[in-house]
Amino acid sequence: MSFQNTLTEDRRLSLLLVLLESSGYSANAFLMRDAAEQIYGHVASNDQVATDIAWLTEQGLVSSKSVGRVTLATLTRRGEDVASGRASAPGVKKRGASGL
């Protein structure tokens, strides 16, 4: 596995963890980006976060909707299981695996 793949999987887990800790398991993309950087050290562009949210939505780990120019993401039950380490999903780092 390449470093870029490892980084992407870790960033996706970080975004799920941000939602897990958010009120109502929901947050907008800008808040998610900032929290992933401040809490987990992931410096990501708006485009990277938008791409990750779209990918997580396709995998059924979050639901998302656009409100004007802002994307709002909400953790699904499956996403909660992955974020909590009770389940795994290909393309997302397993929680507890060397770090998060």
* Stretch (H or E) spanning 49: helix 46-58
For the chain, the average pLDDT equals 94
Structure tokens at 94: 């397993």
Judge whether residue 35 has pLDDT over 90. yes
Q: Is 99 left (phi over 0), alpha (psi -120 to 50) or beta?
A: left
Predicted confidence (pLDDT) per residue in 39-95, tens digit: 999 999 999 999 999 999 999 999 999 999 999 999 999 999 999 999 999 999 998
Fold observed for domain 3-84: Arc Repressor Mutant, subunit A (1.10.10)
- Let me know: does 89 contact 61? Beta carbons within 8 Å: yes
CB 86 within 8 A of CB 96: no
Asked whether residue 99 carries a pLDDT value surpassing 60, the answer given is no
* Alpha carbons 58 and 78: distance in angstroms, whole number: 12
